Structure 1
Amino acid sequence: MNKQNSQISDRAMSQSDKEHMVSIPIEEWADLRDVYRQDWPKGAYSYCGLDTYIQLSRKDLDLCKREVRIRSVDNNWREHGIFILDDHTDYSHIIRVDTCTSEHSSLFKLALTYMDLESCDEIIFRETIATTVRQYLQESGYPLKQDCYPRQLYYLSKEDSLKLQIRENADYNIKPLTLADVEEVERFWLYKRKGSSYIIRRNIKYNLTFGAYQRETGELCAWVLLNELGCIGFLYVKENYRRQGLAEHLVVHLCQALAKQDCDALAHIRDANVPSLKLFERLGFKAIEYNYWFIKEDIFTE
């Protein structure tokens, strides 16, 4: 074991520490979600993300019990909203952590010590807690090589989503994706890594999705999914089918489907992704904050 891995191992949380965490039962996840309804839409990211897991639990309780765990530092989580969400599949381990207030900074720092840094592949966190999370990761032996993949979070209310106009295109059938489309979606996914095929499969099976299929050939030409973060994601149009408005067409379909489920719409966009920025801003989306991804494999990749 090299020095860096030794430092990380020495700082790993003991089993007794983990046992002091408070597990939030699935039937109370909605209470935690609703804490983030305060000061709307600033808490939209965690609200919508938690809601996605609530919907997953209603569709496949056994899978949710097996793969998802939400914990907090004490039983006052309805007050401070501090949580650690572990989405731990057979292929990857993603952690989400948040707090809805800055008044409990010491408790939030304690919560960070409960993260399983040895096991996890990614940690996702918001702009409001970014400084604290980065500092903890560095103190735990993880030198951050870059700025943790910042993405702007864009927001559109359900009321505004319902105002969007769907323009039909006679050349394409717009319908939900199927599990037969998993391989195609992954093949064009820019950020694919360990476990991405399984996550795409889970998203297609349980979340809202739309694909544009060429009427004559049945080819899947473009697609969009509601991802595991509760955000519009995986948006892609194959090169031969661009400049036909398919991206906008699919996003509008998904926004309206979300609105009909009484949900607002969110999307993560890189600052450098000018076409996506123009599309979402044209539809009325507004940037509300940055979110960040700590991807552990980057630390050990030269």
Structure 2
Amino acid sequence: MSKGFHIWRIVARMVFLQKVGSQDLEHLLKLYSCDQPKYCTELQCLDNFFGLYTTRSHLKHVEAYTLPHQELGLFVIVDRYQMFVGCLDTENSNDILEQALHQLDWWGGIQCSTIRNRYAAVVGRVVQAKRLPLKFEMENNLYFLPRKAALELNVDVPSGFYLEALSQQDAHLVDTAWEWSHSGTLFFIERQIATSTCVGLYREDNQELVAWCIRSQDGFLAALQVKNSHQRRGFGAVVVKEYSRRVALLGYDVTAEVCPSNKASSGLFQKLGFKVIDQCSWLITVPAQGDFTWPDGE
């Protein structure tokens, strides 16, 4: 066993997460903005939560952590039961991230969301070391569209329809139509509609919402849906183009996750110029005391 190994073990035991606020998140944003598009997902995740911290006077059940002095740009954000992570790529970054993740309370069940391929093995080792049974596991393709290309998309609004940001009244429809809807997702959708980029396509005659998408907590395009009565008319492409344009105007590239088996969505994103640049894993651990239910309104 080398001397260097002994030194690293001592350093590893000194890794301590600390809770942070909006100023720390803003500093982390600057760190990740320096190397794009490598850290495009980390940047947009931080941007989303920085926006939440600065627009909401009080955030319940949202905790952001980093290391003292933002070492390695490491962050862990726990949003109720969802966990998002990021760390700048250095020689010992995975070891430090692993030590940090061991400090979380995993026993209530955690949904490890959109875990980039570079973090997947670390998260997997922590789950295995804690002997946490998995409720769900999935790997998606990460689709990427550069900001410049998004700004060049031509958005043709079909006759008789108009594009507009979603309203809170639309949240229930978005949630019930979403393939991944479950207890708690309505809250997230309502919050994202209120605080982040979202797009809906509406009929002019009766204001019926027929197609939509939102920006999820991790900054990805999510919940893309076209009503069955209006499918095969190119409406999905219309809202994706408009969403992409709006995100690009904010200064960001556009990202989306698609399950490899979803050929229709994969084809749509490829047609619009998106490229697969990575894979993202989802892991859901089983709560030790059974599924948690949030009080009404939370």
Please report the TM-score for the alignment, with normalisation by the length of structure 2: 0.86
Is 2:126 the partner of 1:136? Answer: yes
State whether residues 81 and 101 of structure 1, in contact with CA within 8 Å, keep that contact through their aligned partners in structure 2: no
Aligned to 1:126: 116
CA shift, 1:144, in A, is 4.2
C-alpha deviations, 1:63-92, integer Å up to 9, x for none?
A: 3xx3322112x3242x4122211112xxxx
The reply on whether 1:184 has 2:173 as its aligned counterpart is yes
Which SS does the other structure have where 1:132 is aligned?
A: helix
Q: CA deviation at 1:261?
A: 1.2
CA offset at residue 211 of structure 1? 1.1
| 1:47 counterpart residue number | 43
In the alignment, structure 2 segments of 5+ residues that lack a partner are 1-12, 292-298
Counterpart AA for 1:296: T
Matched, 1:95 2:113: no
Q: Is the 8 A contact 1:83 1:111 kept in 2?
A: no
Equivalence for 2:33: 37
1:84 aligned residue (76, 81, 88): 76
CA contact (8 A) 2:108 2:287 kept: no
- Say whether the 8 Å CA contact 1:35–1:81 is kept in structure 2: yes
- Over 3 Å counting, the alpha-carbon distance change for 1:29 and 1:145 in structure 2 is closer
Segments of structure 1 that go 5 or more residues without pairing to the other structure are 1-16
Q: Secondary structure at the match of 2:68?
A: coil
Aligned pair partner of 1:215 in 204, 212, 221: 204
How many residues were matched structurally? 275
Indicate which of 165, 169, 172 corresponds to 2:158: 169
* Native 8 Å contact 2:22 2:54 kept in 1: no
- Structure-2 separation of matches of 1:149 and 1:298: 18
Q: 1:187 to 1:142 in 2, by over 3 A?
A: same
Rounded to whole Å, the distance in 1 between the matches of 2:86 and 2:105 is 15
- The answer on whether the counterparts of 2:160 and 2:203 sit within 8 Å (CA) in structure 1 is yes
Q: What amino acid is aligned across from residue 18 of structure 2 in structure 1? A: V
1:69 maps to: 63
Mapped partners of 2:120, 2:284: distance in 1: 14
Equivalent of residue 25 in structure 1, options 13, 21, 24: 21
Tell me, in whole angstroms, the C-alpha distance in 2 between the residues paired with 1:298 and 1:222. 35
Query: Is the partner of 1:32 in helix, strand or coil?
Result: helix
Match of 2:138, SS? Answer: coil
Counterpart code for 2:241:
V
SS of equivalent to 1:153: strand
**Contact kept? 1:212, 1:222, Cα under 8 Å:** yes
2:279 aligned with 1:290: yes
Q: 1:33 and 1:180 mapped to 2: Cα distance?
A: 32
Q: Which runs of 4+ in 1 moved over 3 A?
A: 143-146, 297-301
Contact 1:151–1:292 (CA<8 Å) still a contact in 2? Answer: yes
**Which is bigger in relative contact order (C-alpha 8 A, separation at least 6)?**
2
The separation in 2 between residues aligned to 1:101 and 1:263, in whole angstroms, is: 21
Kindly provide the amino acid, as one letter, of the partner of residue 205 in structure 1: A
Identity level (%): 24
Conserved 8 A contact 1:138-1:144: no
Instruction: Give the AA of the match of 1:128.
Output: R
Q: Is the 8 A contact 2:109 2:287 kept in 1?
A: no
**Kept after mapping to 2: 8 A contact 1:158/1:263:** yes
- In structure 2, the residue matched to 1:236 is 225
Does the 8 A contact of 2:135 with 2:285 survive in 1? no
2:72 partner amino acid: H
Could you tell me how far apart the structure 1 residues matched to 2:119 and 2:68 are?
A: 21
Contact 1:42–1:288 (Cα < 8 Å) also in 2: no
| TM-score normalized with structure 1 length | 0.85
Supply the distance in 1 between the matched residues of 2:189 and 2:134 (Cα, whole angstroms): 28
- CA distance in 1 between counterparts of 2:138 and 2:287 reads 11
Give 3-state SS (helix, strand or coil) of 1:62's partner.
coil
Question: Are residues 1:274 and 2:263 paired?
Answer: yes
